[in-house]
Amino acid sequence: MRPLLLRVAAPAHLTVATLLAALAAAAPLRAQSVNLVTTADRIFAAWNTTHSPGCAVGVARGGVTLLERGYGMADLAGERPITPATILESGSVAKQFTAAAVMVLVADGKVALEDDARKYLPELPLYGRTITVRNLLTHTSGLREWSNLMAWQGWPRGTRVHTQPYVYSVITAQKALNYPVGEHYSYTNSGFLLLRTLVERVSGKTFAEFSKARLFAPLGLTHTQWRDDYTRIVPGLAQAYSREGTGFSIDMPTDNIIAAGGLLTTVGDWLRWNNSLTKKTLGAGVVDSLTRQMRLTNGLEIAYALGLTVGKYRGTREVAHSGSTAGYSTYLARYPELGDLSIAVLCNVAGANPTSSTRQLVDALHPELPRAAALDTVAADQNALRAWRGLYEDGRWHEVTVLDTAGGLLRQGNTPIRALRDGTLMMGGQRIRLAMDKDGRTRTIRTVTSDGDSVVYTWRAETTAKPTPTELAAYAGRYRSDEIGTTFTVAVENGALTVSPRAGLSETLSPTFRDAFDGPSNAVWFTRDAKGRVTAMHFGAARVWDFVSTRIP
């Protein structure tokens, strides 16, 4: 299948002077730009067939389009190919548009980032510390992730239609946060769902109407809209797919939840959007705020700003966000230090890797960028490292990790832990520090996430639990959560503990240590009263740290 290259041209809104300046900035890349088509064809070769979904890709510099190209099929049944004009869904790249909508209201003097969110959303409970509008925008509110809550009701995304009013009611029914406001970073779509309501209440318009009037129309984003009704027919929209065996199955979003995601758009509109951010078309105050990184209450600066992540790729500044909704996967990036390079990748298949594809394009355009230096590893005292074997528990949501030795090396699963000359260790792609008190009873693994937050795993003295049938029976019973309106049934089946939120759906749990288990998607642990009786069941996951259901007597 021959991919379609639409054009290499300047958007109509560019002046002659701006065009000349952009072409001058791009001049050093002209020789490489000739090869950009070949490079893109190589990167997206796996999707360049009439038998698979694929991707649309756009590359621009200084507002001048260098490449717009499509690979694979927008509709396998209808045999419609992906072109640069194909509409696809953004996933979480939509968050920067929602943040911009809020910042427009800030510029209008109608909202302030440090305002208490309850000023606009009085349904939010009082949690002891003020949740600000900025906290909602930066994933530092502590709010629980709504999709986890729906899954624990027994209805994960894709199993029934979720609506904004209902999900809003569940979010605002939560009695606790993951952590005190501002102390940690924990990615949550819930904050952006609330921001949709904030924009609507303050503006007096629907979120779609406000976005069109203040963002899409002024910036010339003529192919961009919100999926506020998933049943609406959108001409030119690509179907989304996931792999199934050796083929593909349709994997479309089936909810009306937007603002955290749900933006329908094209690569051309995304390039125009990025150019508007570079040119600060919406105003310097609006755009500068979008890339101002958040600081936690301890002063630590995290990578997340307002709907955007600010970081480095091969030593150059990268302002970007990834997205994933149902079978759609996406990446939109800006490289201000590379002549305002912009790359947009929108795919309609869950198996694509838009982030990797984007960075391969950067590599092709800028081979002069420094490569990451080889790790300065040193020989480790493996006898000393053996003392670190055992179970470790994340104090946030009770994730369990195991360190053991194999082949003479300390490992986490199949990942060897390597010692570096600076005294730290590498565990996979993460730099960690180990600490132990004098008697060896307290051992910790400390690491910093890619987002800039810190995580501590603490050693558990006991080995992996092997509960007897009698011990398992002590957990069996019914547990109630009014926060999500669900009664869970815990039972012993075939020698294992199971938990079920509704008829026909259950998960089997694997024991980790006393009163604690691992499920397919979350940690589960039980607490007891002073007499040793099991009184509550807790769920923990990366986006919901401690969700409690109380045992029904």
Handedness of CA 393, 394, 398, 399 (dihedral sign): negative
How many CB atoms are located within 10 Å of the residue 201 CB? 11
What pLDDT score does 385 carry? 75
Strands (E), 428-522: 430-436, 443-448, 454-460, 477-481, 486-493, 496-502, 505-511, 516-518
Please report the pLDDT score of residue 388 as a whole number: 82
DSSP structural state of residue 212: I
Q: Evaluate whether 387 touches 278 at the Cβ level (below 8 Å).
A: no
Q: Do 480 and 412 belong to one domain?
A: no
Give domain status of residue 199, yes or no: yes
**CA 518, 520, 523, 524 torsion-angle sign:** negative
User: Which of 227, 256, 285 is the C-terminal boundary of a domain?
Assistant: 285
**In the chain, how long is the greatest CA-to-CA distance?**
80
Q: Is residue 128 part of a domain?
A: yes
Q: Are 383 and 521 part of one and the same domain? A: no
- Look at the chain and report how many structural domains it folds into: 4
Residue 388 belongs to some domain of the structure: yes
Same domain, yes or no: 154 and 218 = yes
Residues 249 and 102 in one domain: yes
Residues 6+ apart with CB under 8 A from 510: 496, 517, 518, 519
Residue 398, Ramachandran bin (φ over 0: left; ψ between -120 and 50: alpha; else beta): left
495 and 541 share one domain: yes
315: alpha, beta or left, given left = phi > 0 and alpha = psi -120 to 50? left
161 and 27 part of one domain? no
Domain CATH for 217: 3.40.710.10
Q: Are residues 104 and 229 in the same domain?
A: yes
What pLDDT does residue 30 have? 41
Predicted pLDDT at 24:
42
Judge if 115 and 52 occupy the same domain: no
Determine phi and psi for 326, rounding to 5 degrees. Answer: 50, -120
Contacts of 166 (CB under 8 A, 6+ apart): none
Residue 89 to residue 307: CA distance in whole angstroms: 16
273 vs 220, 305, 343, 347, CA distance in Å? 9, 17, 11, 18
Q: Which residues of the chain have pLDDT under 50?
A: 1-34
| 279 and 269 Cβ atoms separated by less than 8 Å | no
Final residue of a domain: which of 250, 265, 285? 285
Radius of gyration in angstroms for the set of CA atoms belonging to the chain, rounded to a whole number: 25
Chain-centre distance of CA 280, in angstroms? 26
**What does the pLDDT look like over 423-460, one tens digit per residue?**
778 887 778 888 877 776 778 888 877 666 678 888 87
pLDDT value of position 452: 62
Residues 6 or more apart from 414 whose CB is under 8 A from it? Answer: none
Asked whether residue 52 falls in the same domain as residue 98, the answer is no
List, edge to edge, every strand of the sheet that includes 263-265.
Answer: 88-89, 263-265, 225-226
pLDDT at 286: 96
Please indicate, yes or no, if residue 366 is contained in any of the structural domains.
Answer: no
Name the domain boundary from 259, 285, 311: 285
The answer as to whether 335 is a domain residue is no
Helices (DSSP H) in 44-160: which residue ranges? Answer: 95-107, 133-138, 146-153
Domain match, 149 and 264 both: yes
User: Are the CB atoms for 70 and 3 separated by under 8 Å?
Assistant: yes
Q: How far apart are CA 242 and CA 500, in angstroms?
A: 27
Domain CATH code at residue 489: 2.40.128.50
CA 313 from centroid of its chain's CA atoms: 18
Q: What is the residue type of 288?
A: D
Is residue 298 one of the residues assigned to a domain? no
Count of alpha carbons within 13 Å of 115, Cβ hemisphere only? 18
Shared domain check, 130 and 253: yes
**One-letter amino acid identity for 402?**
V
Distance CA 265, CA 85 (A): 9
Domain identity same for 160 and 253: yes
DSSP annotation of 82 reads P
pLDDT at residue 14, rounded to an integer: 38
Q: What is the CATH number of the domain that holds 423?
A: 2.40.128
Phi, psi of 27 (to 5 degrees): -50, -45
Q: Residue 198 sits in which domain range?
A: 89-285
> Residue 144: which of 181, 191, 180 has the closest Cα?
191
Residue 179 maps to a domain: yes
Q: What backbone torsions phi and psi does residue 214 show, to the nearest 5 degrees?
A: -105, -15
In a domain, 135, yes or no: yes
Backbone phi and psi for residue 441, each to the nearest 5 degrees, phi listed first: -80, -20
